[in-house]
Structure formats: C-alpha cells, structure tokens
Amino acid sequence: MELVRAGMNRYRLPRRGKMRVSGMVYVNPNLKRLLQEDKSLAQLADAAALPGVVDPVVGMPDIHEGFGLPIGGVMAVTPGGVISAGAVGMDINCGVRLIRTELAAGELTVPVLRKLMERVEDCVPSGVGKKGRQANLTARLFERVVHEGVRALIEGGYATSRDLDCIEENGCLAGANLNAISPAAAKRGAVQLGTLGGGNHFIEFQEVTEIFDVELGAKFGLFPGQFTVMIHTGSRGFGHQICTDYSKSLLSAAKKYGIELPSKGLACAPADSPEGIAYYQAMACAVNFAFANRQMITHETVGALIKVLGTPEKLGMRLVYDVAHNIAKWETHHGRRVLVHRKGATRALPPGHGDNPTVYRDTGHPVLIPGSMGTASYVLVGTQDTAASFYSVNHGAGRTLSRTAAAKTITRDDFERSMGKVLYNTRSYKDIVDEAPQAYKDIDEVVDTLAAINMTRLVARLRPLAVIKGKD
C-alpha cells in the first residue's frame, strides 16, 4: 500500500480498487516504515470500502494490525451507512482514567509502594476470568449499571456526582438496552464489575515528571513530583462476548442487505437496520459497564491507599478524567451527524467545544495516553486542528511485536533492563513479557507526531513507579 506525503507527519492513502474514500495516516517517517510490517494499511483500505463511510478513514500514530479496522483506526459513517463490531473492537470501551493526589511521589519508599501494590491486589481481582470481590452486590447492580453507567454507583457510595463530569459521556452512553445482549454475555458481566482483567490492562502508580503547560497543568490539578494513579481496563468478558456474538450476526446481516464485505472482520449492517440498532444497544451496555468497572476499581484503589497512607483529606485523591478507546458514537463533525468508530483511538475535543464536560469547557478535556509497561504516559489536550481526524488522537504507543513474538524474542535480561527500577507484581517475567516496552513503539515519538503538527498540546509527562498487571 503506497502512501503519498500530504504534509509534515501526514500521509494520504489514495483511493484504489473498491475504496469509496481515501485514507489519512498520521505518522512520522520512522513510524511510517513500521507500516510495511503488518496489514494495518490494507485494513484501513478495507474500511474505506464500506457503505456510507466519510472521507477520510484515519490512521493514528500508534496504528497496527487488528481484527477488522486496524487498532489506531478511526472511521466515520453517515446515518445511511453501516455500523461494524469489528470497527469498535473486542474490548468495548477499553479506556483509561487518571487519579491525582496531593502526595509527593518522592515520599513513597519502595517498601511503601510494595505495600500499596499488595493492598490494591487484595481489593481488585486481576486476571482473565476473575470475578469481582463483591460479585453478589455487583450482580444486583448489573442491570442498572448497563443502563445508567457510573450514575448507578452513586447511591452506594462508589461514585460522586463530581465524578460524572470527569468521565467521557458523563459515564453513560445513551441507547443501552439489556434485551440486546445474549444470556452468555449477561452471565459474564454480572460478576466481573470491579475487576482488572489481563493483557495490557493495568493499575499503575506514577510520578508527574514534567509539566509542559503550567496553566493547563494547574487547571487539571497536576504538579511536578506529584503521585498519581492510572487505571487501564475495559468491559471485560462482557464486552468480549457482545463483540463475539455480533461479529457473527452482523456477518449474516451483511449478506441479507447485500453488503459486499472486504473482510469478515468488518462484518456490518446498516446503522438504522434492526441488526445495526441492536448492536449499538448492546455496545452501549458494554460501554456503560466499562465506565462503571473503572469507577469500582477506583473506589477500591482509593480505599486501599487510605488504609496504607492515611486519611482521604491527606491524600486529596480526585478523578482527573476518564476516556474511552474502543467505541462508536453519534457526533457532529463538519456540520453533519456521523457515527464515529474509534478503535484504539481517543476523543480529543479542543477548548470551547460544546461537548466538553462543564469543568473542562474552556480548556478542552484531558486526553490520557498511557505508555507501554515501564515507559512514560502523557496528558494532552486537543486543538482545533484535530477536527481533521474527527477530534481523535492515538490511544497509546501501539504494538510492534505480537504477543507470541514478544514471548519468543525478549529475554529475561532484556525485560529487566527495560523495566529499570519500575516495580511489578508478578514472580516470573514470563507472565508479562508480552507487554514489555520492546513490544511497543516509542511512546515519546508517537506522542510527538501529533504535537509537532499542532493537533495536540502537551500538558504533562508521567513516569511509572510501580505497575499491577492482571495475570493471564
């Protein structure tokens, strides 16, 4: 797939074959070379062939091969276009949130960090298939959570009204309908609220090492040397089951409506068809579950830190923001209503945009970009120039090695050298070697790609102190 340079860190993927629109890929020359090593550009071209797709389909700096739409892909469609489960992803509303404190990271010694890790692990079950610590309670909350999102947790003291203003969509995507999900999905979701999961999901203790924009940093409550907590997880087995179910049913629907699919991974149906509406309703259930899941994990994590470090007043823990990565939403772009699929991509609204939460209306909401395990994470904001990508930016660093390849090629020495002094919670490096920094692109280079062309503004850089990973 040949790319044509369209400016600094911008390359156009010209229309060819059955593509209805062109593509635009935001990479620098170094990251561009990596695109020849997988099928991400071919997958972007496939998405450009779907009915109703809007010009352009977009590849973010962390783009890499996925199932259907590439991870780091953005696809918008008109109301008469299609909706695709493969353009949202398996882990619906995989996302990240940042929690600030009033503590200086330098005050926390290694033994204290270890104690914090152990306490959090006691409170937050982690790993594939794990059930929530309060499974009976969350099962009773399940139906409310999928329809109301984080708001359903306020009554029980697991969230506050202020939290809602610091979460994308205020913690609830409208349109959820529990009747659109299978019994198998409901069974998995009912017991997994408040769990971390495996893979690249984590709870990380961090230190703010640099503030690039002092004014914005202050408005977000961030300062140099600050101790922060980042949480990265999604809708767990609930969202996975929904994507599995609808990837099959949308394949049949595409045939029914005469849609020529470029790949099975982009199985789809007209967004206004019964099948398309049902997928959106089910997806919204998973979106709301994921927002609530991260909120429950936050509640448990804050409780664990209080037990180790002292009173809530001393800690000053508050949610900075929570953003989704894998989601489809109806939004207004360039004066028209479109359904934006973001898969491994993050919404980034600029200052003054009407869809910003009230607390961040004048600044633009914080955009959270986690690094790979052992590397820095970033806080950014979008700019007016981000309109070109449907107000979307990358969601992380992006893989360069598959999990299998990482496990085969990264040695213990390689892994330990890359982690440096960062603490981690597994006895064997083999449990998490597939998440080593060497398996990912350089997060600094990925973040700088958009910052260099004024699509984002850097606010803060955070380095990891300790990371809790879910064990597969």
Identify the burial level of 8 via C-beta atoms within 10 angstroms of its C-beta, where 0-12 means exposed, 13-18 middle and 19 or more buried: exposed
């491994």: which residue's tokens?
344
What is the SS3 assignment for 375? coil
Beta bridge partners of 204: 230, 467
Tokens of 330: 């109806």
In the DSSP assignment, the letter for residue 325 is: S
Domains and CATH numbers, the chain: 4-400+440-469 (3.90.1860.10)
Q: How far apart are CA 131 and CA 151, in angstroms?
A: 22
CA 133 to mean position of chain CA atoms: 24
Is-contact 24 7, C-beta < 8 A? no
Identify the burial level of 180 via C-beta atoms within 10 angstroms of its C-beta, where 0-12 means exposed, 13-18 middle and 19 or more buried: buried
User: Is 395 annotated as catalytic?
Assistant: yes
* Cα-based torsion angle of the residue sequence 376, 382, 383, 387 in order, rounded to the nearest 10 degrees: 130
Task: Mention every residue, 6+ apart, whose C-beta is less than 8 A from residue 261.
Answer: 251, 254, 267, 268
């064990």: which residue's tokens?
471
pTM of the model: 0.95
Tokens of 194: 């408040």
Is-contact 54 76, C-beta < 8 A? yes
In the DSSP assignment, the letter for residue 299 is: H
In the DSSP assignment, the letter for residue 405 is: H
DSSP characters over 104-141: EGGG--HHHHHHHHHHHHHHS--STTPPPTTHHHHHHH
Q: Choose the catalytic residue: 232, 240, 341, 395.
A: 395
The one-letter amino acid at 267: A
Q: Which of 246, 216, 266, 211 is nearest to 50 (CA)?
A: 266
Taking only the tens of pLDDT, the chain with its 472 residues reads: 789 999 999 999 999 999 999 999 999 999 999 998 899 999 999 999 999 999 999 999 999 999 999 999 999 999 999 999 999 999 999 999 999 999 999 999 999 999 999 999 999 987 665 666 665 666 778 999 999 999 999 999 999 999 999 999 999 999 999 999 999 999 999 889 999 988 789 999 999 999 999 999 999 999 999 999 999 999 999 999 999 999 999 999 999 999 999 999 999 999 999 999 999 999 999 999 999 999 999 999 999 999 999 877 789 999 999 999 999 999 999 999 999 999 999 999 999 999 999 999 999 999 999 998 889 999 999 999 999 999 999 999 887 877 788 778 888 888 888 888 989 887 666 777 777 778 788 999 999 999 999 999 999 999 999 999 875 4
What is the SS3 assignment for 294? helix
CA 242 to mean position of chain CA atoms: 17
Beta bridge partners of 104: 226
The one-letter amino acid at 374: G
Query: What is the maximum span of the chain, computed from C-alpha positions, in angstroms?
Result: 63
Q: How far apart are CA 76 and CA 64, in angstroms?
A: 19
